[in-house]
Structure 1
Amino acid sequence: MVIRKPGEFYRYDNLGFTFQGYAIEQVTGKPFGTYVQDHIFKPLGMENSYLRLTPEITKELAVPYNQIGEAIPTYATVPTEYPGGGMLSTGSDMANFMMAHLVDGKLGNATILKKETAAEMHKPQLAIHEKLPNMAYGFEYASQQHYNGQYMIEKSGDMAGYHSNMWLIPNEKVGVFVTTNKDFEFRTPLLEAFMNHYYPSKGGSQAPLERSKHSLADFEGTYSDLRNRMWTSHIRSEDGKLIVKDRLENMYFMK
């Protein structure tokens, strides 16, 4: 049963990628991990990348820590091979993966994607506005305020004690990958510092747009995320401003 027409709504859903992994198994007749090893990891020379967290690999993992620096147990995934976020890799292996994406799906003599497929994956597939892209196929546009006008796609991953992020700037053939073993968020400040150093903003500050009370009223209403109903905001216009109130009673004023 189709609940929402494809292309009209968006919901970030790890389960959807797990279904895609299951579809790959049904079409190829191979376990998902085996297919990825044969068609991505091996061609790209990613010799330390896996989809199954075995006891041998667990011994090689960095010890995970919580926010106050206490060691915590290594996470477990169900199912064991988890297409929705269970990949294990290293910085050097991810460098090969990024280079393949930045060179039309190729690395040396190996090709994992057609040129047209790579371009389609890097292109926005959904946007609430043409200047605010949301998702590509497998990639996001989550921290646009730190892009400094560059066209960039990214993907993050989080498990208890482990956090990673990959950024690609296709037009510059540049990629950045960072991974940590502590529940401490520094990925966004790192991106901001990197972009300000290597790709500083060229534009000046813009004056706020003057909008009539009537046009601001068009934005009034309740906005809810399809994945998590806690991410619900109520918006109203008042005195030439938009007032946004979230479920935690935080209030924001937007001119």
Structure 2
Amino acid sequence: MWTPLPPLLLLLAAAAAAIPTALAAPNCPPQGAVFEKPRNFKTSAAIRDAIANLTASFTARDSDNSAAVLASNVSYSVEIFSTAADAPSVFSWHHTAPTLNATVGVKKADGDAVYRLGSLTKIFTVYTWLAQDGDSKWSDPITKYVPELAAAADKAASDPLSNVAWGDVTIGALTSQLSGAVRDYGLMGEITQEYDQNTAVAVGFPPLSSSDPTFPKCGAYPLCNRTAFFAGLLQTHPSYAPFVTPAYTNTGFQILAYALESIKGKPFKTLLQESVLTPLKLQHTYYNNAPARAGLIPGGSTTAAEWDYQLGDESPAGNMYSSASDISALGRSILSSSLLSPTLTNRWLKPAALTSETVAGVGYPWGIRRIPRPLSNGKRTVDAYVKAGRIGYYSSLLSLLPDYGVGITIVMAGSALPGNSNFNIADAVGEILLPALEAAAREQADAIYAGTYVDKAHNSSLKITTQTDRPGLGIENWVSNGTDMQGWSVVLQSGYAPVQPSIRLYPTGLETNGGKRKGYKAVFEDLSLPSRAGSMFSTDCGSWVSFTAVMYGGQALDQFVFVLDGSGKVVGLENAALRSVLTRV
């Protein structure tokens, strides 16, 4: 129970007396990285062991011809990439199916072999929008840029069950699958386009007349032009009201492309080329009609593999072709903010909505996985931003791990490609990779920051450590002006005593002087509090509420700055509120 602060000296005495000799309760870091992104890929023992384990795992996979793997039938490429300048490629693996008929297309899988992407195309589409126009218009209604929807916007007022409320659908809603519109019109999933009437009736559907106003006049055969698309789309009913829940829609990305064309006055294909493909030098990426000679085409037939199948105006939702190396370059560009500002990238890599699964969310248009990482004395969750796709004989996946500046690329092709095969490989990679990345980041942090920091003139000092069972950097034995700040800082923030104090430091992403001054945020925690695990509304992880809660002279006690010299070596540590400069010894 919270009690008012006792007099200053009594509180200080209680804080000092309560400092324990050992900490046993869990720490709660803020969302995001708990260490700086690893750059030690060439020297980390954890990374070296992970690469050896991955090599052994894929060697075994490629010799397994069971129904679940079908290595004899499926060709694939896997790449792990990073934003580290000296290790852009961390691991790569390419497998060519023994049954690959190379009479058409390339003869083997490698980083440059071209695959179809399916819905991974959507990342190119949103990246194009952001590179061209940013996200300042994402709260604008789509009716502002697409006149066909503006003309139909009022219908939802009188009949919301039969008409999408297009006036309430924003550009951001379309990028994040929150528009409530139907998944597809005519092109995919439409039984009257995919099967003949007799087949449909045989499985329980009623006969339809082509004169029925909702009978698709276009789709797969023939493709819809813009006029026919909107004429049909506006006859379909909404799935949900806007912003109620994520509901996957390909039509939204076709509409996004129309809107960007209206804003920029150029064809979407041109915008994609000039804002993404050309700047990133993606020589093995195609918006449509990729040459067969560049492709990995299973079955020896471009028709059977659906290599030639085009989506027309719905191409921004799933038509593109690319290679493993180009997709990795795309992911590396996103993580390093090479085309966007870091702030815009940070906004892009954030959730737009939750799903019914507690560890999953939806982004723009990412699928977000919240991956718990076990710590015996701390909580740690890694967020992965994932987009997968499937079309014909092909599947793909791109996963970004912003906490580490690392991503995973997977492209696959096979005439008997198992369902979810791209995710199965991602799961296998992640089980080996994520523990190694966390260990490498900790190794790096320990080498750079651990040690004792002293200001003898003011009788001030502290020790920086890392522990394998806790997140972030630890502050121990913190003394300021001869006072035990270890317990005092936690008491000031919590407003009560006694406490079992713990202080952990986490990177803020704030740097100056070319990285020679790096900001870190301290989390002051009382580890004597009972666990709230399993509670309905209480939480063990409310540390985000307490940042800068203790101020002195307008400066925050939890704000620390590491000082580096010209060689990149840490030489000092500053605390804003204490106006102290401690030298690393």
Q: TM-score range by the shorter chain?
A: 0.5 to 0.7
Larger Rg: 2
Separation in 1 of the partners of 2:306 and 2:373? 35
With over 3 angstroms needed to count, the CA separation of the structure-2 counterparts of 1:127 and 1:41, relative to structure 1, is same
Contact 2:311 2:319 in 1 (8 A): no
Question: CA deviation digits over 1:61-85, x for unaligned, max 9?
Answer: 111359xxxx645351221671001
With over 3 angstroms needed to count, the CA separation of the structure-2 counterparts of 1:46 and 1:146, relative to structure 1, is farther
**Structure 1 unaligned regions, length at least 5:** 212-255
Provide the residue aligned with 1:178 in structure 2: 410
Q: Aligned pair 1:123/2:350, yes or no?
A: yes
Report the 3-state secondary structure (helix = DSSP H, G, I; strand = E; otherwise coil) of the residue aligned with 1:189: helix
Q: Aligned pair 1:197/2:424, yes or no?
A: no
Work out which of the residue numbers 3, 23, 35 in structure 1 matches 2:271. 35
Q: Aligned pair 1:82/2:315, yes or no?
A: yes
Work out which of the residue numbers 125, 140, 149 in structure 1 matches 2:367. 140
Task: Give the C-alpha shift of residue 114 in structure 1.
Answer: 2.5
Provide the residue aligned with 1:61 in structure 2: 295
Provide the residue aligned with 2:31 in structure 1: none
Contact 1:146 1:191 in 2 (8 A): no
Q: Aligned pair 1:99/2:335, yes or no?
A: no
Contact 1:64 1:74 in 2 (8 A): no
Contact 2:372 2:382 in 1 (8 A): no
Aligned ranges 1:102-251 → 2 under 5 Å? 102-103=335-336, 105-106=337-338, 111=339, 113-128=340-355, 131-141=358-368, 149-182=381-414, 183-185=417-419, 186-200=421-435
| Aligned-residue identity in percent | 22
Separation in 2 of the partners of 1:95 and 1:209? 40
With over 3 angstroms needed to count, the CA separation of the structure-2 counterparts of 1:210 and 1:10, relative to structure 1, is closer
Q: Aligned pair 1:47/2:283, yes or no?
A: yes
Separation in 2 of the partners of 1:146 and 1:91? 28
Provide the residue aligned with 1:226 in structure 2: none
Separation in 1 of the partners of 2:317 and 2:266? 17
Question: CA deviation digits over 1:161-212, x for unaligned, max 9?
Answer: 0100000000100001010111234322222221221224999xxxx9699x
Separation in 1 of the partners of 2:373 and 2:271? 34
Task: Give the C-alpha shift of residue 15 in structure 1.
Answer: 0.9
Question: CA deviation digits over 1:80-99, x for unaligned, max 9?
Answer: 67100112111111111111
Separation in 2 of the partners of 1:53 and 1:152? 31
Deviating more after overlay: 123-132 vs 186-195: 123-132
Deviating more after overlay: 17-26 vs 5-14: 5-14
Separation in 1 of the partners of 2:306 and 2:386? 28
Task: Give the C-alpha shift of residue 116 in structure 1.
Answer: 2.1
Report the 3-state secondary structure (helix = DSSP H, G, I; strand = E; otherwise coil) of the residue aligned with 2:262: helix
Deviating more after overlay: 182-191 vs 10-19: 182-191
Separation in 2 of the partners of 1:125 and 1:147? 23
Task: Give the C-alpha shift of residue 146 in structure 1.
Answer: 8.8
Contact 1:15 1:84 in 2 (8 A): yes
**Structure 2 unaligned regions, length at least 5:** 1-152, 154-164, 166-237, 375-380, 439-467, 470-532, 537-585
Provide the residue aligned with 2:260 in structure 1: 24
Report the 3-state secondary structure (helix = DSSP H, G, I; strand = E; otherwise coil) of the residue aligned with 1:191: helix
With over 3 angstroms needed to count, the CA separation of the structure-2 counterparts of 1:162 and 1:15, relative to structure 1, is same
